[in-house]
Structure 1
Amino acid sequence: MSDFNKDEYLNDLPDMDDLSGQAAPAAASAADGASAASAAGATQEGAAQPAAAQSQENGDSAAADGADKADAADGKADDTLTPLGQAKKEAAEYLEALQRERAEFINFRNRAQKEQERFRQHGIIDVLTALLPALDDIDRIREHSEMDDSFKAVANKIDKAFEKFGVEKFGEKGEDFDPTKHDAILHKPDPNAEKETVDTVVEAGYRIGDRVIRAARVVVASPQN
């Protein structure tokens, strides 16, 4: 075994200054790489935010431009019309407005006519109701006594006047009993009756159209069973 020579061993080792010089550039290179990566990330992030804002602004601008273009298209369409075409367009607009006004007027006229007819019927009903006692007296005189020609003429004129206003008298002996238009003041058994019929009319009934003003007051003949 050869003898260990300390001096030769130490002379073969690399110089520490050289090692320090080599390590420092490597560390600096690594630090520079990290700084560059961080700067690149910050640059990308900073660029992404304006890009998103710019995209939103572009969308808003596109919508506004679309509305402006639509208005411009309408204006341009009007501008491209010939004088005759423009006159036809205005005439069509006036005709549409006139038709709407005419429809509204027709509806108003129909409502006014219905209201007028309703008020007219109310007036007739009020007069008829006030004259019912006199009309009943005239009917009793007709049934139970002879009427002279002058009184008969007056009674006929009254009947025709009410007929002119649509008033109809009803209630006749022998007709079927109808509780919707007859007011039975008495039911009497009748061996010859097969169903309920009017035996005697005490007071005539009056109606206007389908509206009963007063039901006829009658005596009803009913079957015995």
Structure 2
Amino acid sequence: MSDFNKDEYLNDLPDMDDLSGQAAPAAASAADGASADSAAAAAAAAGATQEGAAQPAAAQSQENGDSAAADGADKADAADGKADDTLTPLGQAKKEAAEYLEALQRERAEFINFRNRAQKEQERFRQHGIIDVLTALLPALDDIDRIREHSEMDDSFKAVANKIDKAFEKFGVEKFGEKGEDFDPTKHDAILHKPDPNAEKETVDTVVEAGYRIGDRVIRAARVVVASPQN
């Protein structure tokens, strides 16, 4: 075994300055690594916190959107009222005048329709009344016609008969049915057909009872004897 030399051993040891210089970078590197790990952990925690907060925020946003839609509808309904508030007195007066005019025009149209319906109903009731009176007097009118045809009438009776005819004409009643006119089944009621060698078509030969009508409405068809061609 060789002898221990204290001086040589001490000389071989590194200086303290060299040791402090090497230790500082190592400590700095370790500190940087620790700081990086801490920063990463903090970022992860922050991300988790933001993700957790995002869901309530989205729900809140949807709720706010629904509330905004409802508020928009209410605002739209109140827009007209607010618009009236922004009108000048002259503009407000013109607006009210237009509304009154529109309402008046509607009322006028409804009144015209009512008046037309009432006039039609009145005319229909009037015709029904005339028909009722005419139907009740038909037997008397037929007797007057028979007296005219088969006997001579004195002047007084003839005057009364003419007044009755004119009264019905005044109410639109028309008497029809004349000998020699063409037979029309829509207004003639044939009680008898007799062959006639001189007839080229069916014609009225004899009027038994005159027909009466109001306008196009036949009250009673004329009862007639029809002359028909032999073939």
TM-score category, normalised to shorter length: 0.7 to 0.9
CA 1:114 to 1:133, structure 2 compared with 1: closer, same or farther past 3 Å? same
Task: Kindly state the Cα deviation for residue 18 of structure 1 after the two structures are TM-superposed.
Answer: 30
Residue of structure 1 equivalent to 2:25: 25
Q: Which runs of 5+ in 2 are unaligned?
A: 36-41
Task: Kindly state the Cα deviation for residue 34 of structure 1 after the two structures are TM-superposed.
Answer: 20
Percent identity, please: 100
CA 1:148 to 1:66, structure 2 compared with 1: closer, same or farther past 3 Å? same
Tell me how far apart the structure 2 counterparts of residues 70 and 95 of structure 1 sit (CA, whole Å): 26
Task: Kindly state the Cα deviation for residue 19 of structure 1 after the two structures are TM-superposed.
Answer: 29
User: Runs of 4+ in structure 1 displaced over 6 angstroms?
Assistant: 1-42
TM-score (norm. length: structure 1): 0.78
Residue of structure 2 equivalent to 1:107: 113
Tell me how far apart the structure 1 counterparts of residues 32 and 154 of structure 2 sit (CA, whole Å): 139
Tell me how far apart the structure 2 counterparts of residues 158 and 2 of structure 1 sit (CA, whole Å): 179
Task: Kindly state the Cα deviation for residue 101 of structure 1 after the two structures are TM-superposed.
Answer: 0.8
| Higher-Rg member (1/2) | 2
Tell me how far apart the structure 1 counterparts of residues 146 and 74 of structure 2 sit (CA, whole Å): 88
CA 1:153 to 1:37, structure 2 compared with 1: closer, same or farther past 3 Å? same
Tell me how far apart the structure 2 counterparts of residues 9 and 165 of structure 1 sit (CA, whole Å): 159
CA 1:59 to 1:147, structure 2 compared with 1: closer, same or farther past 3 Å? same
Task: Kindly state the Cα deviation for residue 70 of structure 1 after the two structures are TM-superposed.
Answer: 2.4
Task: Kindly state the Cα deviation for residue 2 of structure 1 after the two structures are TM-superposed.
Answer: 30
CA 1:10 to 1:99, structure 2 compared with 1: closer, same or farther past 3 Å? farther
Of 49-58 and 160-169, deviating more is 49-58
Task: Kindly state the Cα deviation for residue 66 of structure 1 after the two structures are TM-superposed.
Answer: 1.8
Tell me how far apart the structure 2 counterparts of residues 33 and 97 of structure 1 sit (CA, whole Å): 86
Q: Which runs of 5+ in 1 are unaligned?
A: none
Task: Kindly state the Cα deviation for residue 194 of structure 1 after the two structures are TM-superposed.
Answer: 0.9
1:170 aligns with 2:176: yes
Of 49-58 and 190-199, deviating more is 49-58
Task: Kindly state the Cα deviation for residue 83 of structure 1 after the two structures are TM-superposed.
Answer: 1.0
Task: Kindly state the Cα deviation for residue 115 of structure 1 after the two structures are TM-superposed.
Answer: 1.0
CA-to-aligned-CA distance 1:152-180 (integer Å, 9 cap, x gap):
00000000000011100000111111101
Task: Kindly state the Cα deviation for residue 8 of structure 1 after the two structures are TM-superposed.
Answer: 31
Task: Kindly state the Cα deviation for residue 84 of structure 1 after the two structures are TM-superposed.
Answer: 1.0
Task: Kindly state the Cα deviation for residue 106 of structure 1 after the two structures are TM-superposed.
Answer: 1.0
Report the number of matched residues: 225
Task: Kindly state the Cα deviation for residue 117 of structure 1 after the two structures are TM-superposed.
Answer: 0.9
Task: Kindly state the Cα deviation for residue 205 of structure 1 after the two structures are TM-superposed.
Answer: 0.2
Tell me how far apart the structure 1 counterparts of residues 219 and 183 of structure 2 sit (CA, whole Å): 18
CA-to-aligned-CA distance 1:33-63 (integer Å, 9 cap, x gap):
9999998998677545423422321221221
TM-score (norm. length: structure 2): 0.76
